[in-house]
Structure 1
Amino acid sequence: MTVTGTMATGSSLGLLAELAKERVGDETLLYFEDQRWTGTQLIERGARLSGGLRAAGLLPGDRVVVCMANCPEVGITYTAVWRAGAVVTPVLFLLSEPELRHVLTDSGARFVVTTPDFLPKVLGAAIGVPTVAAVVVAGDAPGVSGGTDLAGAGRGAVPPVVDFAELEAVEAAGLVDTSSTEMAALLYTGGTTGRSKGVVLTHDALSSAAWAANVSHEEETPEDGSRLAGLSPLPLSHVYGLAINVMGLHSTRPGTSVLMRWFDPGEFLTLVARHRVRISALVPMMIRMLLDTPVESHDTSSLRRVVSGSAALPRETALEWQRRLPHIALAEGYGCTEAAAIVSSAPRRAIRIGSVGKPVGGVEVRIERRDGTEAVVGEDGEICLRGPSLMSGYWNAPEETAKVLRGGWLHTGDVGKCDEDGYLYVVDRIKDVIIRNGFNVYPRDVEDVLLTHPDVVACGVVGRPDATRGEEIVAFVQLAPGATVTPAELIAFSRERISAVKYPREVLVVDTIPITSVLKTDRKALRAMLDR
């Protein structure tokens, strides 16, 4: 079955930022901690930083790695890099030093922009990476260079450290003429199925994804004509955060963004009330954290919709949200880095629990059988995508690109199905499917059952090779503090609620369930734990 959205077109993001100045003007566009920023201030800071980076040697096409927690300087850096015709490479600040070194080496990064808290890790990762000319630090840090003369830098030693503020003090530079079909961002995948790969996204791809997100948010615009306030706790280094950053460049009525450095449920609820927030996007872990607080005692009357993404939302969590916060629509969305984040979303008034909604503008979704033919309504198959927001390919990996981009379609590796109304349902990852006695078992089905037990706060299910049955089902569980339930009791609990083919034969209790840098259950780590 194929489902189609409406087509959208994109443009150079540097040019869009320049044109957006007239629309955003001197109204507050961003709140961050105790600061507020107008659109003009943010865009002009980006223009000055662009001049400083170019004076320091940044050339069109160069990659700039951005390793920061959420702060205004992230978006300012993006604008600066795009104005210069260069490429942003955002990374989550939680990456280990070896993981960061892989990104620097594989991308051929020219500059790294970071903050003092992550400077030691960044410098450690950059040692011996010959392409890195300098590390730019936003904030006070010992040993920051007082100059931008980088002649001879990037030859295998520790790169020089340069002050962000000093680069920003340079005269604003003009716009580099950049085609919308050129690379705008290089994002590295979470690496759940192997070493992380660089995903190449053009200006067109990011522009189209942001346009589609704007359209999906239109129904949340305040009826009185005031600005739409959105709360952003997700990392701006994530592809969704990157797309959200571009949204304001497209909107004819730009909203106000309330940015959190990182997520805290109490602070989230305080900011919703203070700024009369109407929309936000969270991951299931954050939603669970909110529900574990006395959320009803806070003023959330302004909040209209919360979008859940990045990982599957447990059915029990969705039902609990509906019961406790009926005035706030909780809509699951679906996306992936290779499609610039946003593939499908549900309208606030037409949410179906378990579904990730319908394709957003410009995206076609096709469900494909193993033999390459198209599945019928309700039939499981691989989710395949087509549209202007798709990646150009994997960076320096033509063989990997050829595996997923076939016949004009992106093969996501996700199992899904569509109903008769075109709603998409994500079942699981193809590589995570457990084959037991010839039957397909989806880990998510087992996890959803285990999560209904009051003593289970998190879980992950994988397959263990078995000479008789092919694979056996193993569940890792994280228990609530003080819980006394035993593995045998959890096996019995599951057996009563799921088919004989699917219930876990082994339950292992762990302190925490490992997650990836994009907050998904790290099944690769769980399989490694089985091998130990």
Structure 2
Amino acid sequence: MTEYNLAVLAEQAFDRLGDYESLFFEGRWLTSGEIHDRSARVAGGLRAHGVAPGDRVVVMMMNTPEVFVSYRAIWRAGAVVTPVIFLQTVPELRHILTDSGAKAAIISPELARLFLGAGEGLGITTFVVGEESFSALESGEPAGIEPRADDDLAALLYTGGTTGRAKGVMLGHRGLWESGRGLSAVARSMDTTRSLLPLPLSHAYGLIVTIGGLHADRRPVSVLQRWFDPAGWLALVAEHRLETSPVVPAMLQALLAQPLADHDLSSLRSFGSGGATLPPAVREKAEKVFGVTVLQGYGLTESSAVVSAETVEDHRPGSVGKPLPHAEVAILDPEGNVVEEGEICVRGPGVMLGYWHDPDLTARTVRDGWLHTGDLGRLDEDGFLYVVDRMKDLIIRGGFNVYPRDVEDVLLEHPAVQVAACVGRPDRERGEEVVAAVQLAPGQEATGAELVEFARSRLAKYKYPREVVVLDAVPLTSVGKIDRKSVRVLFTE
């Protein structure tokens, strides 16, 4: 049996760390032994219902302990975890269910109506957590571990829904194993064991955090939020003396807008930030206000979630850390030559097996073993990676390149601005015009005209936004990234 089988990894973690109170959720502690036993029984139940190695099993839940149980059970049965973020429309969800050819699904009761409507006629065996179907699933005998090869499919994650129909990213056992080990090494550098998990576990970032925990050499303790709620996050940190939390930048921005003095946050030591690039002003403020170290990482679903990350011993302002041991990074131009600034390309076992049912897109994205990320970046002389921006988000104004991040970082330096999004608006004379939308911090005031002047005093003439609109809330995706597609629509309409 391959050493990279994720079910074997979970078994080894339990053998190594033993039975202890490992997960707190909504007033109740679960032990590692309980999670281990339940996952073995659910694996047996899945097999009894005809789930075979390689079958896709959808997991569509809010964050609950049953997500941990289900992932491990599916891998134990040799099947493929197919996580689905619950913020889906019926057509989006039906596309995923049809395209994946899912054999079974484990869902939250709140999502049953949506799921059953989207899956009508597809013959997917469905188990609802908290109801008889799921109880029966975990009432049988524990199952052993199904052998899997290193490059057998472990997870099928759908991504890219904001830019078109979601495409399935195929991730293998070894890729996720290696990526999780890299993330675990970063966690060791923080020297923390008590964490708060607000991330959607159905996202690649949340998934790899759960796998990273299986590599831990000390007993990790996690407190799980059903969904991110900043006020609840602060209360949980204070109550359970939590030390660290993996977040996306939008979460940090929301936390900074809370009345922090009302909570004892002295136990906090670090944040791990990923999922989107962290604006320097937000990082600086978070470190100052919380008295912590913020460590940034970089990755994408197609790279098994993580490529590089800072550690406590090795970090540099503005960078996303050095590539982790499983990932090789090169900065390439369109002809494949190494350049100082260009496309970030990644090679190594974490690179996806390909796009599900799309060999042409796979061939365009992974060339000569290199995953072309679509991100612009550079490496410094010490090997630190810097992300400049998404290539597709580049604004070309009158022949000059404008990176939205440069504009957003400046706007976020204004004390009234909590979130900023910069996009290009079609312009007859200049090709594109630089415009931005902002969300103000609670209790703050600023006009669009004031913010234009603020940016103009700090940016080159061709860079500053000619229009800034103030919104109640800047549109975000389901995982907390700025939804630039929606922002563009605001300006084009």
Q: TM-score, normalised by structure 1?
A: 0.88
Q: Deviations over 1:97-117 (max 9, x none)?
A: 222111111111111211111
Partner of 1:290: 255
Structure 1 residue runs of 4 or more that deviate by more than 6 Å after TM superposition: none
Equivalent position of 1:487 in the other structure:
448
Bigger Cα displacement from structure 2, 457-466 vs 197-206: 457-466
Report the 3-state secondary structure (helix = DSSP H, G, I; strand = E; otherwise coil) of the residue aligned with 1:422: coil
Q: Distance in 1 between matches of 2:243 and 2:349?
A: 28
Q: Does 1:265 align with 2:256?
A: no
2:206 to 237, 241, 244: 241
Determine if contact 1:458/1:478 at 8 Å carries over to the other structure. yes
Query: What letter is aligned with 1:33?
Result: E
Q: Whole-Å Cα distance in 1 between the matches of residues 372 and 173 of structure 2?
A: 22
Report if the CA contact (8 A) 2:331-2:342 is conserved: yes
Summarize the alignment of residues 6-405 of structure 1 with structure 2, pairs less than 5 Å apart.
11-128=4-121, 130=122, 132-140=123-131, 163-221=133-191, 228-326=193-291, 328-376=292-340, 380-405=341-366
**Partner SS state of residue 169, structure 2:** strand
> Per-residue deviation at 1:10?
5.8
Whole-Å separation in 2 of the counterparts to 1:482 and 1:260? 27
Worse overlay, 98-107 or 259-268:
259-268
Code of the aligned partner of 1:449: V
Q: Which structure has the higher relative contact order (CA within 8 Å, separation 6+)?
A: 1
Listed one character per residue, the Cα deviations across residues 205-262 of structure 1 (whole Å, up to 9, x for unaligned) are 110011111111112336xxxxx22221111111121112222333333412221112
3-state SS of the aligned residue for 1:514? Answer: coil
Rounded to whole Å, the distance in 1 between the matches of 2:287 and 2:75 is 41
1:451 maps onto 2:412 in alignment: yes
Letter of the 2:480 counterpart: L
Comparing 101-110 and 314-323, the one that deviates more: 314-323
> Would the aligned equivalents of 2:268 and 2:290 in 1 still touch at CA under 8 Å?
no
The partner residue of 1:467 within 409, 412, 428 is 428
Supply the distance in 2 between the matched residues of 1:253 and 1:456 (Cα, whole angstroms): 40
Is 2:404 aligned against 1:439?
no
What letter is aligned with 1:498? L
In 1, distance between residues paired with 2:475 and 2:3? 37
- Tell whether the 8 Å contact from 1:190 to 1:516 is kept in structure 2 after alignment: no
What's the secondary structure of 1:213's corresponding residue? helix
Give secondary structure in 2 for the equivalent of 1:348. coil
User: Distance in 2 between the 1:30 and 1:425 partners?
Assistant: 35
| Contact 1:190/1:518 (<8 A) preserved | no
Partner secondary structure for residue 458 of structure 2: coil
Q: Distance in 1 between matches of 2:213 and 2:386?
A: 29
1:99-147 deviation per Cα after TM superposition (whole angstroms, max 9, x unaligned): 211111111111121111111111111113x2x432210014xxxxx6x
Kept after mapping to 1: 8 A contact 2:346/2:370? yes
In 1: Cα distance, 2:22 partner to 2:441 partner: 41
Partner of 1:30, secondary structure, is strand
Q: Is the 8 A contact 1:248 1:254 kept in 2?
A: no
1:136/1:429 Cα in 2 relative to 1: closer, same or farther (>3 Å)?
same
CA distance in 2, matches of 1:16, 1:514: 38
Tell me, in whole angstroms, the C-alpha distance in 2 between the residues paired with 1:322 and 1:514. Answer: 26
CA distance in 2, matches of 1:20, 1:330: 27
C-alpha separation between the residues in 2 aligned to 1:340 and 1:51? 27
CA distance in 2, matches of 1:75, 1:484: 43
Does the residue aligned with 2:82 lie in a helix, a strand or coil?
strand
For residue 380 of structure 2, what is the aligned residue in structure 1?
A: 419
Aligned-pair CA distance for 1:181: 1.6
User: In structure 2, what residue type is equivalent to 1:198?
Assistant: G
1:139 partner amino acid = G
Cα deviation, residue 274, structure 1:
3.3
Amino acid at match of 1:51: G
For 1:370 and 1:439, the matched residues in 2 are separated by 19
- Percent identity over the alignment is 51
Aligned AA (2:53): P
Alignment: residue pair count: 492
Q: 1:10 to 1:437 in 2, by over 3 A?
A: farther
Aligned residue in 2 for 1:160: none
Structure 2 match to 1:152: none
